[in-house]
Amino acid sequence: MTLTIIETSAQRTHQSFEKDRYLSQATADAELDAVWNDCWLMAGLVQDVQHPGDFFVFSVGLEQVLITRDDQGELRAFFNVCQHRGNRLVCETQGSTQHFRCPYHAWTFSLDGQLKGVPLIEKFTEDPRTANRDLTQVKVDVWNGMVFVHLGDSPEPLLDFLGPVADLLAPYDFGAMTLVEDQTVHLACNWKAVVDNFSELYHVDFLHPQHKRMVDCHNDLVRLFAGGHTGVEVPGGTVNQKFGIPELPTDIQSSQLLSLDLDPKDFKGRVLEVREAIQQQKRAVAKDRGMPYERFTDDQLSDVWQYNLFPNTILSFTPEHCWVLRPRPHATDPNQCEFDKLSLVRFPNQTAAAHKPILGPASRDGAAAQPKSRPDRDVFSYEAVIAGDKTMTDTIDQDVELLSQVQLGMRSRGFNSVFLNEDEVRVQHFHAEWDRRMLKSDR
């Protein structure tokens, strides 16, 4: 069993740190300038602003950003604030419109943010349309099907911020995947506790025992990048040998094999050969199934990758699917956050001879039917997950059910600091970058 760590930056110096970064309001306030106003943030999907007038609203803490496409086809982002008396301009989370009209006194702004209409304009001593009352612009850019915004004044280019991660993930082309589910759960924990949870596999054997049948978490490869980004690459299509090698393929392996027209029975006594068979068969059926497997390495064809973009975007993906997991800070309470899960699936293109979906090792999203229209966002509480009324998949439900307990435990007088091991090196790396930014903003 080996863990491989490839570091392209930074030393691990954060085996232990105090708990107040998860709890204190002063820290949450300081994070505004150190993190939220100084990083590119994944705001949403390009597919939600495909046409002029399409828009969506991205909330992060107290801020809201309105993202739209103007009449010239240019992507635009603005603080979601009317420039008359500061009302939130748009209340819907997404839609399509010809202009933005404030519900308070009906000031109207065009898609490129210019103030166009003002009722009873003769009552103003100065014409607001020539008094610099247009919407306040936010920097916006696009990478791999995703819209990123930067709330600061002079950000580095998005590709510089992403560094080598941008090229490593380019083959996956998330923009060619279709959104099949859009969920947000309210969690009673700090947003960083969610990032921590999705930065280590140490807990998987214990909290997610079902995973031993899916992937081999003990032969993972970890990558640490400058800027606090991290990645883990986990062999899929195999079993965790720590738990013994079964005679027959597991149910997850079997469903993957069947989706590739391979017979699980042929792998009796050869379970460890399934991974390579999946890689080869994907190459063999690529053209018929209309899947762009030629651009992936053999490992990528079978494995599950999870890359975390600092600060709060977690991408878990295979060539066939991607989960975008994103904890967003609560507006006023460091003990809460909103946690989004966007499920994307690459469907075979319609000209392919066989439209049969190919299943990956970690998600059953691939079995989803192609939706006729964009699914609505489902927003719910973690209590609804615990009650079994909502699910974000068994695995994430287990994380969601646990996280409020972590926050409560941290608040106890009986706990002062976290204490991390090598399997938690991505947690360490994330916090090293967080510290670097907080120290910088102190000066």
What is the DSSP secondary structure assignment for residue 215, as one 8-state letter?
B
Alpha-carbon distance values, 442 to 190, 192, 435 (Å): 21, 20, 10
Taking the CB of residue 65, how many other CB atoms lie within 10 A of it? 23
The entry of ligand FES, Fe ion, none near residue 85 (CB within 5 to 8 angstroms by kind) is ligand FES
d(CA 11, CA 60): 30
Q: Which is nearer to Fe ion, 54 or 399 (CB)?
A: 399
Cis peptide upstream of residue 311 (ω within 30 degrees of 0): yes
Pick from ligand FES, Fe ion, none: which does 87 bind, CB < 5 to 8 A by kind? ligand FES
Provide the phi-psi class of 56: left if phi over 0, else alpha when psi is between -120 and 50, else beta. Answer: beta
**Binder among 28, 82, 400, 418 for ligand FES (CB under 6 A):** 82
Which partner from the list Fe ion, ligand FES, none does 415 bind, CB cut-off 5 to 8 Å by kind?
A: none
Each residue 23-62 as x (binds ligand FES by CB under 6 A) or -, in order, gives: ----------------------------------------
Q: In what order do the strands lie in the sheet with 146-150?
A: 40-45, 146-150, 139-143
> Whole-angstrom Cα distance, residue 409 to residue 201?
21
* Residue 104 near ligand FES by CB under 6 A: yes
Q: Which residues contribute to the site for Fe ion (CB under 5 A)?
A: 399
- Contacting residue, 6, 20, 62, 105, with ligand FES by CB under 6 A: 105
The neighbouring-strand residues paired with 45 are 146
Number of residues near ligand FES (by CB under 6 A):
8
* Region binding ligand FES by CB under 6 A among candidate stretches 100-108, 161-169, 265-273, 324-332: 100-108
Give residue for tokens 């699980």: 264
**Least distance (Å) between residue 129 CB and ligand FES:** 13
Q: How far is the CB of 254 from ligand FES (least distance, A)?
A: 58
Q: Does 87 bind ligand FES (CB under 6 A)?
A: yes
When the beta carbons of 81 and 322 are compared against ligand FES, the nearer one is 81
When the beta carbons of 105 and 287 are compared against ligand FES, the nearer one is 105
In the complex, minimum distance from the CB of residue 344 to Fe ion, in angstroms, rounded to a whole number: 20
Q: Which of 17, 40, 56, 107 binds ligand FES (CB under 6 A)?
A: 107
3 state SS of 401: helix
For residues 207 and 47, give the distance between their C-alpha atoms in angstroms, rounded to a whole number: 35
**Cα(207)–Cα(229) distance, rounded to whole angstroms?**
25
Would you say how long the chain is, in residues? 443
If the CB atoms of residues 338 and 399 are measured against Fe ion, the closer one turns out to be 399
The verdict on 262 binding ligand FES (CB under 6 A) reads no
For ligand FES, the closer of residues 105 and 364 by Cβ is 105
Specify the residue, 88 or 203, whose C-beta has the smaller distance to Fe ion: 203
At 235 the three-state DSSP class reads coil
In degrees, rounded to 5, the angle at the alpha carbon of residue 305 between the alpha carbons of residues 370 and 294 is 70
Residue nearest to Fe ion according to CB distances in the complex: 399
Q: Which residues contact 330 (CB under 8 A, 6 or more apart)?
A: 61, 191, 336, 337, 338
Binding of ligand FES by 108 (CB under 6 A): no
Tell me how crowded residue 362 is: count the other CB atoms within 10 A of its CB.
Answer: 23
Cα–Cα distances in angstroms (integers) from residue 270 to residues 217, 234, 239, 302, in the given order: 20, 20, 11, 17
Burial of 300 (0-12, 13-18, 19+ CB in 10 A): buried
Between residues 84 and 355, which has the closer beta carbon with respect to ligand FES? 84
Stretch that binds ligand FES, among 22-30, 79-87, 146-154, 376-384 (CB under 6 A): 79-87
Residue 104 binding partner per list ligand FES, Fe ion, none, with a CB distance cut-off of 5 to 8 Å that depends on partner kind: ligand FES
Binding-site member from 102, 215, 315, 425 for ligand FES (CB under 6 A): 102
Residue 107 touches which of ligand FES, Fe ion, none (CB < 5 to 8 A by kind)?
ligand FES
Q: Which partner in ligand FES, Fe ion, none is near 399 (CB below 5 to 8 A by kind)?
A: Fe ion
E strand residue ranges, 146-239: 146-150, 178-187, 221-224, 230-234
CB of 404 to Fe ion, least distance (A): 14
Angle subtended at Cα 188 by Cα 183 and Cα 190, rounded to the nearest 5 degrees: 95
Return the SS3 of 71. Answer: coil
Task: Choose the binding region for ligand FES from 30-38, 80-88, 126-134, 266-274 (rule: CB under 6 A).
Answer: 80-88
Residues that bind ligand FES (CB under 6 A): 82, 84-85, 87, 102, 104-105, 107
